[in-house]
Structure 1
Amino acid sequence: MAIWKGVFPAVTTKLTEAGEVDLVATRASIDRLINSGVSGVIVLPMLGENASMSLPERESVIRAAVEVAAGRVPVLCGLAEITLHTAKKHAALYKSFGAQGLMVFPSLGYKTDHRETVEWYKGIASATDLPIMIYNNPIAYGVDCTPAILADLVDTPEIVCVKEETGDIRRVTDMYVAFGDRFSIFCGVDDLIVESSALGVTGWVSGMTNVWPAQCVKLFDLCAQQRFSEARELYHILTPSFHLDVHVKLVQYIKLAEHLVYGAPEWTRAPRLALVGQEREYVISTVQKAIDILAVRG
């Protein structure tokens, strides 16, 4: 089974102003990420507006990503569904489209309890032999895949990784104490990456890596090499922008940041709307400050 390590950007799905999937821009962004040194890509995450995409659109994005990656890095796909039946069906479909792994959300339609959460993940694992990353974001989805729940999943070999996004930095150590290296543990919060790295995470699912892939890979590598003094310098420059990754409008924020840094389309699909007024100016000023400092540093 796969062992994932390194920086895995949660890739934004590029759209036209009319709200259609822009495969040309999406492919270009994925190629840019891979050329900048990321270790994997995750298409159709929440940041990729998964829930607003039709199945044919998802297929087109997965197939495009696999074609662009061309075996250079693994391509994972977000799996975000309401019912177990549909989740199992789509897990098998996404493999047929070329996905090499799944980042699995809890049910989007119901806050499962301990027993139901275990059965959700076991059920999806039974429908595919693809390796699975658990997307643990109780702040957004109301379901916490706690160490007690993970203890009931240790005998499910398809589950290989946890994207840790509780915001509680102690959870990283708690999982290592409980399970050793049974699961790869990825930081899922951009503005906790240095802290998480100090505790031993093996990877990073990152939103702002869409914007600054080379710098984010460098930051992760500095931490992996325990060069924390150098890492903190770069972290201090990027953290104000990293805070944009944990806002409810992170899709709009990160797409606008991509537009500012390398001209990618900023459009989102309704009900998300383009940023306006003071909110837009705040994002622009935050990102522009980092752009200016990085330009001076070279």
Structure 2
Amino acid sequence: MAINWQGVFPAVTTKLKSDFTLDIEAIRAGLERLIANGVSGVVMMGMVGENAQLTPEEKLTVLRTAKEVIKGRVPIISGLAETNTGSAVAYAKEAEKIGIDGLMVFPGLTYKSDVRETVAFYKTVAQASSLDTLLYNNPRGYGVDLTPDVVEQLLEEPTIVAIKEESYETTRVTDLISRFDGRLAVVCGVDDLILESAALGVTAWVSGMANALPKESVNLLNLAVKGDFVSARKLYAALTPLFHLDTVVKLVQHIKLAEHIITGSAETVKPPRLDLVGEERETTIAITRKTLEDLKALGY
């Protein structure tokens, strides 16, 4: 399926049982809920999906499950997060065999590559399959920055078609759109910068907190793309305290806890992550409940 880079693409949480094994039925139910609430695609096993904590077989099981559930209704994108180029190439090939639609490619994990190494890595992975490639630019998290100059080199590969921009610099959005408009889709990767990014021309959003509030997230982006910023700002103000939790180290725990409160799904995370406890947990609960109250006041 060709990926139309417009709309909300949740970075889907990987549902787990209490023994940390995959909860397939919960994964299925979560995907059905997201589709029912109007998302434009799903990103399986990004950072929010705990990619680096899953075994190779668990990753493929998640992809097969998504393929079986979604049945072509929306595009499926898989995170690709590996420590070496050989493993990344092998994973890209396996994902293509399963029949997913695209890859969100992290830089090589555990090693801060220089520009020459970064370009070589991404080009090699892009050549390993015919799948659309979404570059993952998160220099805060991984120490590698896909600047416009680096991106220009990467666009020599035709399968590289989009970038998840998570440098936290709104000027970067303008630079990328101005330089590569029509060749590269710029996708917002920061929940609490989505309205700012949309004002600059972004029409697609890979969101963590959309797991908890998919309908509201879809409505927010739609309002912004239509140019109704008066309504969008009101909704954004209600959502932003929760969206802030997408930008911290324990984002996975916060997102799963918010999702638990709203849907009842398990908040279990895979070690070395641990579930939130004490004041930290209570703060997230309070923010989630206040967000729900504020949304209700707006008619949601």
TM range (shorter): over 0.9
Q: Is the 8 A contact 2:80 2:88 kept in 1?
A: yes
User: What does residue range 258-277 of structure 1 map to in structure 2 within 5 Å?
Assistant: 258-277=259-278
Q: What is the aligned partner in structure 2 of residue 188 from structure 1?
A: 189
Q: Does 1:91 align with 2:92?
A: yes
- Report the aligned-residue RMSD: 0.9
Q: Deviations over 1:245-285 (max 9, x none)?
A: 00100000000000001111100011111111110011000
Residue aligning to 2:239 = 238
Counterpart-to-counterpart distance in 2, 1:223 and 1:295: 20
What stretches of structure 1 of length at least 5 have no aligned partner?
Answer: none
How far, CA to CA, are the matches of 2:13 and 2:115 in structure 1? Answer: 31
String of CA shifts for 1:226-263, please: whole Å, max 9, x gaps: 10010000000000000000010000000000000111
How far 1:295 moved relative to its partner? 2.7
The whole-number CA distance in structure 2 between the counterparts of 1:266 and 1:109 is 27
CA shift, 1:202, in A, is: 2.3
* CA shift digits 1:24-56 (9 cap, x unpaired): 001100110011000000001111000111111
Alignment match, 2:108 = 107
AA in 2 matched with 1:216: S
Correspondence for 1:153: 154
Quote the Cα distance in structure 2 between the aligned partners of 1:101 and 1:293: 36
Answer yes or no: is 1:221 the counterpart of 2:222.
yes
Contact 1:3 1:160 (C-alpha < 8 Å) held by counterparts: no
**Alignment size in residue pairs:** 298
2-side partners of 1:90 and 1:287: how far apart? Answer: 36
| Structure 1 residue 18, shift from structure 2 partner | 1.2
* Deviation (angstroms), 1:3: 3.6
Q: Percent identity?
A: 50
2:3–2:101: 8 Å Cα contact kept in structure 1?
no
SS at match of 1:108: coil
Query: How far is 1:182 from its partner?
Result: 1.1
Distance in 2 separating the partners of 1:34 and 1:198 = 25
Q: Once the 2 structures are TM-superposed, how far is the Cα of residue 177 of structure 1 from its aligned partner? A: 1.9
Output aligned runs, 1:104-183, within 5 Å: 104-183=105-184
Between the aligned partners of 1:130 and 1:119, the Cα distance in structure 2 is: 18
Structure 2: unaligned runs, 5 residues or longer: none
In structure 2, the partner of 1:32 is 33
What CA distance in whole angstroms lies between the structure 1 residues aligned with 2:155 and 2:162?
A: 11
Deviations 1:5-31 (A, max 9, x none): 211000000001111110100110011
SS class of match (1:77): strand
Separation (CA, whole Å) in 2 of partners of 1:267 and 1:97: 27
TM-score (ref. length: structure 1): 0.98
Kept in 2, the 8 Å contact 1:81–1:107? The answer is yes
What displacement does 1:115 show? 1.1
What SS is found at the alignment partner of 2:12? coil
SS of the equivalent of 2:63 reads helix
Q: Secondary structure at the match of 2:17?
A: coil
Q: Which residue identity does 2:293 align to in structure 1? A: D
SS in structure 2 at match of 1:62: helix
Deviation of 1:153 (Å): 1.5
CA distance in 1, matches of 2:127, 2:183: 19
Tell me, yes or no, if the aligned pair for 1:7 and 1:204 is still in contact at 8 Å.
yes
Measure how far apart 1:180 and its partner are. 2.0
Between the aligned partners of 1:111 and 1:5, the Cα distance in structure 2 is 31
User: Do residues 6 (structure 1) and 7 (structure 2) align?
Assistant: yes
C-alpha contact (below 8 Å) 1:2/1:160 kept by paired residues: no
Q: Which moved more, 1:288-297 or 1:161-170?
A: 288-297
